[in-house]
Amino acid sequence: MCGIYGITEKNPEWVKSYIDKCQYRGPDMNQIYFDDDVTLGHNLLSITDTPSQGTQPWKTDKGNILIYNGEIFNYIELCKKYKNFEPKTTCDTELLAWGLDEFGIDFIDQIDSQHAFALWIKDKKQLYLSRDHVGIKPLFYSLINNFLVFGSEARGLLDIVPNARNMDYLALSCWSLSGLNVTNNSFFKGIKKLMPGETLKFDLKTKKIITVKRDIIIGGNGSSYNEEEFRTIFSHTIQESLIGTRPIGIFLSGGLDSAMIAFHANKFFKQNTFTNHILPCPHDPDEDYNSDSNEAKKFAKLLSFNHKMVVHTPKLYAKFWKKTVEALEEPMYNPSLPMYAHMNEVMSKSGIVVTLAGDMGDEILGGYSSYIIAKRQNFRTYRDCVLFWLTKRLARPPSFKLKININEIVDILIETVFPDKLWDRDDPASSYMRLDQQGLCSEDYFRRNDRLGMMYSMEGRFPFACKKMMNYCMNIHSFHKFGDTMESLKKMSRKSYKGILPDSIINKPKTGWTAPINLWRTQFSKDCKEINYMASQITNVNLPNDKRWAPILHFFTWKNSFNMNYN
């Protein structure tokens, strides 16, 4: 994982300052290219080759300039396919540069990747920006007085984009309804996000930005599946996800998705696995907060993983609070974020550079009770589906005063983020799942992993989000993935791995890595002095004494940390 930065003018000093702000994204090397029209910068976290072989900006054979953050997982397959590609390195940047020369921007269709890249076509004075099909890699941009600025993180744009420290009302309104800002606006006014799968072109002659491509996974064949075929495709996906030479660690949650990943990865080399453990564990009649941890420990012992249990406490929650808020850059509705930051720090100190996680498994295989609810709605139109997703996703949304009304937000989302090709009238539940894939995953899981992993110079990978896996699963009708009860969730996965994974994992109800912040505060008040002091520093705010406590505290901590204006 790396960082990319640029501006459409000769300004190496500004790009260097941007690189310095995000140095943790690529500590192995940094470099700048500039000419009279553009300045491009890159910092490198070397994964597949020595840093000197992967130096960017990369000049293609046609004289174009590429800066790239990502991995091409079907690299070996494409090298075999194209005999006229003669690599001089094992760096996938070389393949991407060759493919863009050879096929143009449509080469994106052939790569199974997670990526954000910028390509400067010097003779045409055109700059392309591109983001992968589910938005694993971030990319922000802004058009200011006819020149374009962009980068992997928003923080480097705040002081160049006018009024960026004013909150964007569309972003705030969307977040207030759903707990997610899935719009193509960031929270910083004037700074926009490339959407998952989006490729933009900026022409320096016309000074206009246009979308030239939206590469997203649809599926929709309504097919059945074969258990052996499903396992074979996933095993191959895992093998491709292990590309590179750096130490790999797996977030072993104790659930089905991460167990599937660890099981297949273990065929190739002994796995390093990590699990969160809550201490003290509060009493909750509805949930055992360490059930996942205990299950992961048993599974790791069964398969002889190098396993580490990462103990998280109220004091550690407070310790990681502010640095987590600042690393994430924008408000998030998730009470467990400091715990995830702590986990990343432990993995980094254990020598891990590449992480594997089970995110996107639920969204393609039917792992949420919300899919059962959505199925029962029997949506008549796509708009009904999007409206339901936006307003019923959370039982207790932040509920700030809306600056933009609900119907306007729905219309904007369908026009920009959730195109109507995601709608399948023959399988509305799959349509709802696609909204999670394009919205929830990119704006929660992948952003969280990118920022908190990058804080420690680690690259996150998500096998379930690979094109090959998503295409296979999303062409299977939702009927095969879940029924009408909680016990029916992920029935395709459960059937396929029955007798292969332990029954205790196959039959385990869905839980999650959750920091029990509200129960800690009520049941272990003496252990929460640091947490409560941290909250007391946010003045003139009445925090609700429910599940919104941590997300709303996060919002106001973010507001103060980034000096944001909110009216």
- Looking at residue 28, its pLDDT comes to 82
**CB-based burial of residue 326 (10 Å sphere; 0-12 exposed, 13-18 middle, 19+ buried)?**
middle
pTM of the model: 0.96
User: For 227-364+435-515, which CATH class?
Assistant: alpha beta
- Looking at residue 1, its pLDDT comes to 59
DSSP string covering 28-70, please?
Answer: TEEEEEE-SS-EEEEEE--SSS-GGGS-SSEE-TTS-EEEEEE
Q: Which residues, 6+ apart, have CB-to-CB distance to 547 below 8 Å?
A: 335, 396, 518
- Tokens read off for 267: 């065929």
> Do residues 363 and 440 lie in contact, with contact meaning Cβ atoms separated by under 8 Å?
yes
Nearest 10 degrees: Cα torsion 49, 51, 52, 55? 100
Write the CA distances from 154 to 32, 377, 483, 522, integer angstroms: 19, 38, 41, 37
Task: Enumerate the CATH 3.60.20.10 domain ranges in the chain, comma separated.
Answer: 3-214
Q: How far apart are CA 44 and CA 23, in angstroms?
A: 9
The count of other CB atoms within 10 Å of the CB of residue 285 is: 5
Q: How far apart are CA 557 and CA 554, in angstroms?
A: 5
- Tokens read off for 447: 């952003």
- Looking at residue 489, its pLDDT comes to 96
- Tokens read off for 202: 């900026």
Task: Enumerate the CATH 3.40.50.620 domain ranges in the chain, comma separated.
Answer: 227-364+435-515
- Looking at residue 403, its pLDDT comes to 86
Q: How far apart are CA 90 and CA 52, in angstroms?
A: 12
Q: What is the mean pLDDT of each run of 10 residues along the chain (567 residues)?
A: 92 96 87 97 74 81 96 97 93 96 97 98 97 98 96 97 97 96 98 98 96 95 94 98 94 96 96 96 92 96 97 98 97 96 98 97 97 95 98 91 93 97 95 98 96 95 98 97 95 97 93 89 95 91 91 96 90
- Tokens read off for 6: 């640029």
Q: Residue 261: helix, strand or coil by DSSP? A: helix
> Which homologous superfamily is 3-214 in?
Aminohydrolase, N-terminal nucleophile (Ntn) domain (3.60.20.10)
